[in-house]
Each structure stands twice: as C-alpha cells, then as structure tokens.
A and B are shown apart, each in its own frame.
Chain A
Amino acid sequence: MRLGESAKMQASINVTPLVDVVLVLLIIFMVMAPQMRKGPEVRLPKTEKPSQQGDERGRILVSIDEGGRLWVNDKQVAAEQFGDALRAAVAAESDPKVVIRGDAKLNFRQVRLAMQAVEQAGFRGVGLIAKGRNAGTRGE
C-alpha cells in the first residue's frame, strides 16, 4: 500500500518551479520593456495607417521633443552640432537609416528643418514615425 502511494505521488510533474521561473521572467520583461526605449518621451502623431518601419535597433533615432529640442538617439544636441552628432551616430551602425520622431504638437517647420539637416548630413530619405490607431507598440 505504501509503495503504491509513493509511486502515485512521483507520477505527477511538479510544475511549481517552472511557474516561478516563468513569472520571474515575465516580471523582468515587464520592467525592462519601458527602459529599453531610446530617446526622450515624444507624443507621436496619431494617424490611420502608418506602414511598418521595422525594429528601432539599427536605426538612428532623431527625436524632436515638444520644445523643439533635437535629440540623436539618447543625446540632446544643439542645432549647430546636429550634423556632427548624426555622422558620429552613423559610425556606430552598419546599415544606417534615419527616422524622425517628431512630437505631435510641433510646427511643420521644425520637422522640415530637421529633415533638411538630415539631408545635408548625406542621407537620402527618412522615416517619419507615427502611431497607428490600433498600435500600442511605441507611443506616448
């Protein structure tokens, strides 16, 4: 009788450690997700159907915040040093592509000037980042 009972107990897999590990992993990802973003907080323009621009890794992120300040990736730069900062960022990437994250409250002028500066730094074409209506991947 005793032998039979102990054999029954061993037959079920103990999933509690698995659940523990998975929950911890989940918490780690939840905590890390907001911190892995590059650049300042920008309220992106909301539009209907923006096309996919891919992963933000491997892109040079030019951000223009609410006050019109320019950022290249994580660093705020003065307008005069923008070209230099952009070229420095290019050196770190193998296949550089520039995307502009402009705040929805900006005037078009500020974005236009940033686009011109990107062009003058020797890039052809930029991506203007927006937020789709039903996409919550990167916003606020």
Chain B
Amino acid sequence: MEFNRGDSGSNLQSEINITPLVDVVLVLLIIFMVIVPLLMQGYDVDIPKSTNAAPAQSQESRLILIISATTCGIVKPSAGEGLPTDCRVILGDQKIAATELPARVGDILGSRPPEKRVLFLAADDRLNYEGVLRILDLAKSGVEDLKVEFITAN
C-alpha cells in the first residue's frame, strides 16, 4: 500500500499539465479565424447627384463645409496624429477652428431629423487625403447618422 501511494504521487507530478496550453492555443486560433475575414473601417460618403437638379433641401438649409488649403495647411502628409492646431475651416458662412467642428456641427444638425443630417464637403485639391479624412472624422463625431456628400465637381 505504501509503495502504491508513493508510485501514484510521483506519477501525478511527472505529467505536464497541458490544459492551459491547449486553452491558449485554441483562443489564438479563434482570434486568427476572426481576423481573417478582414474587417474594414471607413466613412460612407456620397456624391451629390447633380448640382443642376432640384436640390433635396432648400439652398439655405444646406450645410457646407469648405476646407481650403490657405486656411488649413494640411498639404504635406502628416507625420503624427491629429491636425495642425492652426487649421481653420469654413462651416456655413463662418470661419472656425477645426477643433470646434464637432460642437458646431452638433449644434446645427443635431436638432434636425436623422435623414436630414447632411453635410456637404468641399475640399481643396491640393490638400492631403489623410488630413481631409481627419476633418471628416471630426465633423462626423459631432452628430450621429451624419450623411456626407462630397462636392467633387471642378
């Protein structure tokens, strides 16, 4: 009996417990299986059908955001995060700092029903694409369900 007990005790210690290893590997496998479908992130934008056609909204209720290369110098690809602090944009008829954009867009469009929350965006050709998207990101963060229409005509 004594011999037996000693035997079984050493048996237990000699085996490596691989259950945690299996757990970790299975979790890793699941993570990779989830990543493989390659989910994308981005911004849904529209292009106004035609400037000549009857506008869906009356002219004065249209909110237009103009990003000009002279007031917001994001011409070069940016190295880090965010926007230059002196970046100014024209929202409606007012020139505001880009950092105020979420609050101002929220003020103007927040009271409208979600289907009428449309922002028309006109950006200078010389601007850096990443910079334009960062401004678009700021505008979108101001109000939910914001529809963006890019004015792409020359």
Contact = CB atoms under 8 A, between A and B. Distances in A.
Interface string B111-145: 00000000000011111111011101110110000
Interface residues of A, number: 58
B29 A115 contact: no
A48 B45 CA distance: 17
A47 to B, nearest CB: 4
B38 A138 contact: yes
Interface string B28-42: 110011011111111
A52 B41 CA distance: 5
B42 A112 contact: no
A124 interface: yes
21 contacts: A15-B19, A23-B25, A26-B29, A36-B38, A45-B129, A45-B133, A47-B136, A50-B43, A52-B39, A53-B44, A56-B37, A56-B40, A105-B128, A108-B127, A115-B45, A119-B152, A125-B45, A129-B41, A133-B81, A137-B38, A138-B39
Nearest to A102: B129
Nearest to B134: A47
Contacts of A133: 81
Contacts, number: 166
Interface string A118-140: 01000011111111110101100
Size band of the B side of the interface? Answer: 35 or more
Contacts of B41: 50-53, 129-132, 135, 137
A57 B137 contact: no
A108 B137 contact: no
Contacts of A127: 40, 42-45
Contact of A49 (B47, B125, B126, B141): B141
B26 interface: yes
Contacts of A99: 40, 42
A57 B39 CA distance: 9
- Choose among B15, B40, B49, B136 the residue with the greatest number of A CB atoms under 10 Å from its CB: B40
Contact of A108 (B15, B22, B38, B126): B126
A137 B40 contact: yes
B18 interface: yes
A29 B42 contact: no
Interface in A5-43: 8, 12, 15-16, 18-19, 22-23, 25-26, 29-30, 32-33, 36-37
